[in-house]
């Protein structure tokens, strides 16, 4: 069952085409990574899901129903451009934002207190945002996004502004929320986080879908048969014909103990190993799985061509 289904959504601002036939599904309880270079249309799509704007064409369904106004209370949104009232006490502010999601004042306080506890913010309840550090303000912001326990959480660059320790705290919290069954849409340029927590990844570029799949699928798709081969340097003859026949690329590392090879198309690793073993003493062979970072760059560059 999908919590969110985006089908053929297009959006145009005057001459600027922001989204073209975008499709995207988010399964309940999963984390979806929405990737794309700046200006690809991520924020436009997110604003449509948050009903801040409406698509020109296409449909969005939430939990099986056509997306409607009432659903805003089941969605939590942390925008990339975010902030809080500078002159308002953070406790009051958090209560206000929770109330706007449809809670009574008393319920809002009851829900907020444990979160303030968890993020170590209790003594700041009556302080104003302008008295807080940026990291603390980000924590408050994060709390107000998740406190109403939405079914769907949309996080746009949630790690920006956090130091590595707090970023990890947020990452862990996202995992905890996922365990609670909350579905999450995560838009970020932090590829390490994508690999760590995303179940499925959508890459959009220039307003269009470019790639889609689990991190594993994408890594397989972009795996170019490159391996790191470590060997015993004393018994090596690199000019051996075996290398040349099976590999399109061979790079010897400077220490002479390993090399990076890329197999010719259609060549199995075993074939290569069979002939390589005759000339070198192999200690270890490791596939060079592309990182999400590599995949991102390669996919975008491929599209440019």
Q: Is 59 in the site for another protein (CB under 8 A)?
A: no
- CA 175, 179, 180, 184 dihedral sign is positive
Q: What is the DSSP code string of the chain? A: -EEEEEEEEEEEETTEEEEEEEEEEEETT-EEEEE--TTSSHHHHHHHHTTSS--SEEEEEETTEE--GGGGGGEEEE-SS----TTSBHHHHHHHHHHHTT--HHHHHHHHHHHHHHTT-GGGTTSBGGGS-HHHHHHHHHHHHHTT--SEEEEESTTTT--HHHHHHHHHHHHHHHHTT-EEEEE-S-HHHHHHH-SEEEEEETTEEEEEE-HHHHHHHH--SEEEEEE-GGG--TT-HHHHHHEEEEEE-TTSSEEEEEEPTT--HHHHHHHHTTTS-EEEEEE-PPPHHHHHHHHHHHHH-
**Among the residue ranges 94-102, 165-173, 222-230, 282-290, the one whose residues contact another protein (CB under 8 A):** 94-102
Of 75 and 261, nearer to another protein (C-beta) is 75
Of 2 and 99, nearer to another protein (C-beta) is 99
Q: Is 160 in the site for another protein (CB under 8 A)?
A: no
Q: Is 96 in the site for another protein (CB under 8 A)?
A: yes
Shortest gap between Cβ of 134 and another protein (angstroms)? 13
Q: Is 151 in the site for another protein (CB under 8 A)?
A: no
Size of the site for another protein (CB under 8 A): 33
**Among the residue ranges 46-54, 242-250, 251-259, 286-294, the one whose residues contact another protein (CB under 8 A):** 46-54
Shortest gap between Cβ of 154 and another protein (angstroms)? 8
Q: Is 141 in the site for another protein (CB under 8 A)?
A: yes
Of 53 and 293, nearer to another protein (C-beta) is 53
What is the Cα 78 distance to its own chain's centre? 14
**Among the residue ranges 97-105, 168-176, 221-229, 263-271, the one whose residues contact another protein (CB under 8 A):** 97-105
Q: Is 75 in the site for another protein (CB under 8 A)?
A: yes
Q: Which of 19, 67, 97, 259 binds another protein (CB under 8 A)?
A: 97
Return the residues of window 184-223 that contact another protein according to CB under 8 A: none
Q: Is 86 in the site for another protein (CB under 8 A)?
A: yes
Which residues of this protein are in contact with another protein, per CB under 8 A?
13-14, 47, 50-54, 56, 69, 72-73, 75, 77-79, 81-88, 96-97, 99-101, 104, 141, 144-145
């Amino acid at each position: 069952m999908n919590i969110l289904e985006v089908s053929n959504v297009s959006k145009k601002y005057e001459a600027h085409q922001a989204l073209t036939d975008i499709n995207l599904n988010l399964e309940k309880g999963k984390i979806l990574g929405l990737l794309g270079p700046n200006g690809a249309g991520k924020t436009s799509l997110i604003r449509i899901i948050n009903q801040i704007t409406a698509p020109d064409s296409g449909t969005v369904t939430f939990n099986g129903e056509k997306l409607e106004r009432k659903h805003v209370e089941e969605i939590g949104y942390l925008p990339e451009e975010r902030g809080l009232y500078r002159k308002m006490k953070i406790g009051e502010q958090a209560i206000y934002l929770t109330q706007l999601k449809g809670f009574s004042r008393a319920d809002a306080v009851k829900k907020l207190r444990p979160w303030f506890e968890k993020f170590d913010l209790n003594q700041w309840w009556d302080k104003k945002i302008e008295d807080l550090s940026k990291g603390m303000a980000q924590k408050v912001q994060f709390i107000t996004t998740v406190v109403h326990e939405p079914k769907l959480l949309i996080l746009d660059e949630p790690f920006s502004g956090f130091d590595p320790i707090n970023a990890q705290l947020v990452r862990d919290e996202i995992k905890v929320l996922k365990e609670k069954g909350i579905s999450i849409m995560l838009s970020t340029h932090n590829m390490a986080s994508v690999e760590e927590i995303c179940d499925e990844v959508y890459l959009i570029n220039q307003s269009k879908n470019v790639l889609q799949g689990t991190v594993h699928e994408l890594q397989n798709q972009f795996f170019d048969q490159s391996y790191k081969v470590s060997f015993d340097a004393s018994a090596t003859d690199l000019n051996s014909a075996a290398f040349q026949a099976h590999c399109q690329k061979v790079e010897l590392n400077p220490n002479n103990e390993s090399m990076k090879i890329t197999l010719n198309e259609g060549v199995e690793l075993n074939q290569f190993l069979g002939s390589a073993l005759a000339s070198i003493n192999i200690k270890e062979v490791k596939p060079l799985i592309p990182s999400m970072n590599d995949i991102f760059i390669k996919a975008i560059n491929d599209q440019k061509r």
